[in-house]
Chain A
Amino acid sequence: MKKIKLMDIAHARSGDKGDGSNVGLIAYTDAGYDIIREQVTADRVKQHYHKICLGSVDRYEMPNLKALNFILHDSLGGGGTESIKTDAQGKTHGMGILSMEVEVPDDFAG
């Protein structure tokens, strides 16, 4: 097995949902989707964003788009209009997930 970053097998986008953000993670291939579905759990995402997401993490599977959708509750410092954080809308959260590492077989080609 070897470790790769999610950016090698997936792309992402995020936006705001009240005082939380959503992070959509989309695999490029079916094999990539299997990897993220197995390894990118709600717990791992919560741990990954431990300084940003102060609440719980919800996770939804969307096999039709080879995608996972995460809701990061309490991650915007009050949300769009109330927050005094620089990223009050979670615009940057999507790029943040792509540095997470996953394990793949040595001969994994994506």
Chain B
Amino acid sequence: MARTIRIGNAQGFWGDSVDEPVRMLELGHVDYITMDYLAELTMSIMQRQKLKDPKRGYAYDFVQFIDRVLPTLMEKGTKVIANAGGVNPESCRDALLEVAKKHGVTGLKIGIVTGDDIMGRLDEFREKGEKLANMDTGEGLFDAERQIMSANVYMPTNGIVEALDQGAQIVVTGRGTDPGLVLGPIMHEFGWNTLDQMALGTVGGHILECGAQCTGGNFTRWQEVPDMTNIGYPICEVSEDGKMVITKHDGTGGLVTVDTVAEQLLYEMGDPENYITPDCVAQFSTIQLSREGKDRVLVSGVKGKDATPFYKVSISYLNGYKAIAALTVSGPDAYAKAQKCAEVLFGRLERAGCVYAEKNVEYLGTGVCHEGIVPTAEDAPEVVMRIGVKDPDKKKVNRFGMEIAPLVTAGPPGITGFAGGRPKASEIVAYWPALIKKELIDVKVDVVEV
């Protein structure tokens, strides 16, 4: 029989279940646990943390998880791959080394993969004539003054492979692709390197990258999902001969069917012919799914094409301020009273000289999410008003927050739900997707042993 490995995902995003990594480790066998912590916004938050304290800027949750399970991890030999490094993988490793020391562990190898953080290289690229043009608008990054917060390249997966080849049991990366967390160990274990093999590994990674979203979470027929409380997170079972099965630990809740997996394949999908990663271009139009048994779905037929000559870069920059407030309006005439509140609120703000670049009022409970699809429920017994403003002027945005509470006493009757003080202006972190030539970027791998 062909050799088989099991790769689990125990974290779909920063803020996902804190118990799941432990459950993934303890409820059954996996060879690898992968954890995805990074989103565009996360990178800018981490960059800000690092500015305040050069030892921060990574996902501290990950260090706490390792602290919680390190003895078990050592005993079982389970490997862990996480993009928890954020904008400071070195400090994340230092924190992990401290944890290892505390537990008295020896022989543990920890690898970091870096080279993605190009924040400090932007001037160099500008001088070299790189435009870093916005993929959506075509505008050059350097065409206007911008307060750039972070700039990270989506790195190829060979850095993870290299760290594993050097014997790392824990691999911490900065920005990489989410599917790379799964593709990496497959390439390391089986030496897969053809386009079709890398495309299959990428598809496996895409299915796993949002945790329970392929095991019954966010599933259309939610009524059919057993024991959602104890939902099992996904495991990608891969054999050296190219067989791939999506499953979960026995005894956990949730559901792995062709339907739950197909939904996740379509999640955040663009052109199915061209799922572009730094490693290859996977053709989602070739994927076949079939049932192999209870909570087991076979993935096959996947074709890949040559990778492009570019890496994608994710740049974040400050783009003004926003504030959001909410008030609960009871009946009778809840919707009409809420509309009156909005009229009064913006009338008072205009009187104070505050007109906003953008404003938005939603009457939650009347059919906001599916506006225009379902009729507006004008007779809703109560509604929650959700009001937001955006503007480059922070003072104006803060002035908005001061005008909410007076609506309770100087507006229509029966309004409540104002708590937690005046909503304050928060910075808007905007996102600038761009491409960069691959030859300008180097993957760096460093493995140390405790």
- Name A residues whose Cβ lies closer than 8 Å to a Cβ of B: 7, 11-19, 22, 24, 26, 28, 48-52, 60, 62, 64-65, 67, 69, 71, 77-82, 84-87, 92, 94-96, 98-99
Contact = CB atoms under 8 A, between A and B. Distances in A.
B197 interface: no
B360 A69 contact: no
A13 B222 CA distance: 12
Interface residues of B, number: 53
Contact of A86 (B39, B364, B389, B430): B364
Contacts of A17: 268, 270
27 contacts: A11-B219, A11-B259, A13-B218, A16-B268, A17-B268, A18-B431, A18-B433, A22-B266, A26-B266, A28-B259, A48-B373, A51-B371, A52-B372, A62-B272, A62-B284, A62-B285, A64-B286, A64-B288, A65-B266, A65-B287, A69-B269, A81-B316, A81-B430, A82-B430, A84-B390, A92-B370, A99-B373
Given A60-B271, A84-B388, 14 more contacts: A26-B263, A51-B373, A52-B373, A62-B266, A62-B284, A64-B288, A81-B41, A81-B316, A82-B390, A82-B430, A84-B390, A86-B364, A86-B368, A92-B369
Contacts of A49: 372-373
B431 A80 contact: yes
Interface in B210-231: 218-221
B269 A19 contact: no
B386 to A, nearest CB: 6
Contacts of A60: 271-273
Given A84-B360, A85-B360, A65 B289 contact: yes
B266 A84 contact: no
Nearest to B268: A15
A99 B374 contact: yes
Nearest to B387: A84
Contacts of B368: 86-87
Contacts of A69: 266, 269-270, 272
What 9 A-B pairs have minimum CB-CB distances, sorted nearest first?
A: A24-B266, A51-B372, A84-B388, A11-B220, A15-B268, A92-B369, A13-B263, A51-B371, A96-B370
Contacts of B358: 84
B324 interface: yes
Contacts of B268: 15-17, 22
Most A CB atoms within 10 A — which of B370, B388, B428?
B370
A24 B369 contact: no
Contacts, number: 128
A14 B369 CA distance: 13
B36 to A, nearest CB: 14
Contact of B259 (A15, A26, A64, A71): A26
B270 A22 contact: yes
A51 to B, nearest CB: 3
Interface of B: 39-41, 136, 218-221, 259, 262-273, 284-289, 301, 316, 319, 322, 324, 358-360, 362, 364, 368-374, 386, 388-390, 428-431, 433
A11 B221 contact: yes
A64 B285 contact: yes
Contact of A13 (B220, B273, B319): B220
A104 to B, nearest CB: 19
Given A16-B268, A22-B269, A65-B262, A96 B284 contact: no
Nearest to A84: B388
A90 to B, nearest CB: 9
A64 B299 CA distance: 12
A99 B268 CA distance: 21
B349 to A, nearest CB: 15
B172 to A, nearest CB: 25
A24 B372 contact: no
A16 B267 CA distance: 8
Nearest to B316: A81
Contacts of B285: 62, 64
Contact of B373 (A14, A15, A62, A96): A96
Contact of A52 (B271, B301, B371): B371
Contacts of A64: 285-288, 301
Contacts of A71: 270
Contacts of A7: 220
B429 A81 contact: yes
Contact of B360 (A14, A22, A77, A80): A77
Given A22-B269, A95-B370, A86 B386 contact: yes
Contacts of B39: 80
B266 A67 contact: yes
Contact of A79 (B322, B371, B431): B431
A65 B289 CA distance: 8
Contacts of B263: 11-13, 24, 26
